[in-house]
């Protein structure tokens, strides 16, 4: 998350180099993977704290076990875990007998996942540039897609990666996710008299209609979609909210500088306490969008055609 997060911050200005593998007789998927590795070497500056993620934010995957039930992985199926983070759900799915590949744009996350689950396959990849072609029976994703505003690019890559009849099962922050917290972020800036910099709340929280429209446009038939509240209690009592902000908004805090970050976090706590601090813990107003979609037969799906990988 994305976390297990497909964190694309720090990638601005990135220019993909010419594909290795393009002249080497590599198959399209293989050339794509080579290309993705070139991007990683050249441009990835993700610095998610994978250990902190496992220690303090494990609720991200603990809460999503029901999503694995919805995926219903079968023995022998090839499954892609998109934004696998430190691999907890990848391992859960592998435990059902599926042949799974976990991908995440954060090299820290991939390295932690590989250490934790050395028998499983993991790879650092950008979710916007999935190189796969009709290779997977299912694509699975938890708590990642709200980090990527270019949702249509991701969905197009997922649709291409699926075999006809394959399924895409995902959960992400949905419309209204953490709206009380984000309102507190804005109030804290006003209260301190600091001009609000860009990027305070960079997330994409679609409604059922908005996301379903994008999925259908790419030949993915939506068979189930729900938007529901998931109030989420953070660990570590009083420190829970500042830990969360420091983990999930670290790049933003770096931009405003440590003295401002300290003042701002304290003010956010003050602004949000009456709504979000309950019985000695911070409880965030998470809201999830959970979808299950199927890819139609090849002739129904215009995006299924092979596209040159650039």
177 binding ligand BEZ? (CB under 6 A): yes
CB of 286 to ligand BEZ, least distance (A): 5
Handedness of CA 40, 142, 215, 69 (dihedral sign): positive
**Residue from the set 211, 282, 286, 294 that interacts with ligand BEZ by CB under 6 A:** 286
35 binding ligand BEZ? (CB under 6 A): no
Neighbours of 160 (CB within 10 A): 25
**Residue from the set 59, 203, 204, 277 that interacts with ligand BEZ by CB under 6 A:** 203
| Strand, coil or helix: 54 | helix
State how far the Cα of 216 lies from the Cα of 220, in Å rounded to an integer.
5
**Residue from the set 35, 101, 125, 143 that interacts with ligand BEZ by CB under 6 A:** 143
Which residue is nearest to ligand BEZ, using beta carbons?
Answer: 173
CB of 231 to ligand BEZ, least distance (A): 12
State how far the Cα of 289 lies from the Cα of 55, in Å rounded to an integer.
25
Q: Is 122 or 244 the residue whose CB approaches ligand BEZ more closely?
A: 244
CB of 220 to ligand BEZ, least distance (A): 22
CB of 131 to ligand BEZ, least distance (A): 26
State how far the Cα of 182 lies from the Cα of 200, in Å rounded to an integer.
8
Question: Is residue 46 within 8 Å of 105, Cβ to Cβ?
Answer: yes
Vertex 141 angle, CA 136 and 146, to 5°: 135
- Looking at 25-33, 131-139, 171-179, 289-297, which segment touches ligand BEZ (CB under 6 A)? 171-179
- Looking at 30-38, 41-49, 173-181, 301-309, which segment touches ligand BEZ (CB under 6 A)? 173-181
Question: Is residue 221 within 8 Å of 296, Cβ to Cβ?
Answer: yes
248 binding ligand BEZ? (CB under 6 A): yes
173 binding ligand BEZ? (CB under 6 A): yes
Q: Is 252 or 294 the residue whose CB approaches ligand BEZ more closely?
A: 252
Question: Is residue 119 within 8 Å of 87, Cβ to Cβ?
Answer: no
Q: Is 89 or 156 the residue whose CB approaches ligand BEZ more closely?
A: 89
CB of 173 to ligand BEZ, least distance (A): 4
Q: What is the dihedral of CA 215, 3, 82, 229, to 10 degrees?
A: -40
**Residue from the set 89, 178, 256, 289 that interacts with ligand BEZ by CB under 6 A:** 178
Neighbours of 104 (CB within 10 A): 35
Phi and psi at residue 303, in whole multiples of 5°? -80, -5
Interacting residues with ligand BEZ (CB under 6 A): 143, 146, 173, 177-178, 203, 248, 286
């Amino acid at each position: 998350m994305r976390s297990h997060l497909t964190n694309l911050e720090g990638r601005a200005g990135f220019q993909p180099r010419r594909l290795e593998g393009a002249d080497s007789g590599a198959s399209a998927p293989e050339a794509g993977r080579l290309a993705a590795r070139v991007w990683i070497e050249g441009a990835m500056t993700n610095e998610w704290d994978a250990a902190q993620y496992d220690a303090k934010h494990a609720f991200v995957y603990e809460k999503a076990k029901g999503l694995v039930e919805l995926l219903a992985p079968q023995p022998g199926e090839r499954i892609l875990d998109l934004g696998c983070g430190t691999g907890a759900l990848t391992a859960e799915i592998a435990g059902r007998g599926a042949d799974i590949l976990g991908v995440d744009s954060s090299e820290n996350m991939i390295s932690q996942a590989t250490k934790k689950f050395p028998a499983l396959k993991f790879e650092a990849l950008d979710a916007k540039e999935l190189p796969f072609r009709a290779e997977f029976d299912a694509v699975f994703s938890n708590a990642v897609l709200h980090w990527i505003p270019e949702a249509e690019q991701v969905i197009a890559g997922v649709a291409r990666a699926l075999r006809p009849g394959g399924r895409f099962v995902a959960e992400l922050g949905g419309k209204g996710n953490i709206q009380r917290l984000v309102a507190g972020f804005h109030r804290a800036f006003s209260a301190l008299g600091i001009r609000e910099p860009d990027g305070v709340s960079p997330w994409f929280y679609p409604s059922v209609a908005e996301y379903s429209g994008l999925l259908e446009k790419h030949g993915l038939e939506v068979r189930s979609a729900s938007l529901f509240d998931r109030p989420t209690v953070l660990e570590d009592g009083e420190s829970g909210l500042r830990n969360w902000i420091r983990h999930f908004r670290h790049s933003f805090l770096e931009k405003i500088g440590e003295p401002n970050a300290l003042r701002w976090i304290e003010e956010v706590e003050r602004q949000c306490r009456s709504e979000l601090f309950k019985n000695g813990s911070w409880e965030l107003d998470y809201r999830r969008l959970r979808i299950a979609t199927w890819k139609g037969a090849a002739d129904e799906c215009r995006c299924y055609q092979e596209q040159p990988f650039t």
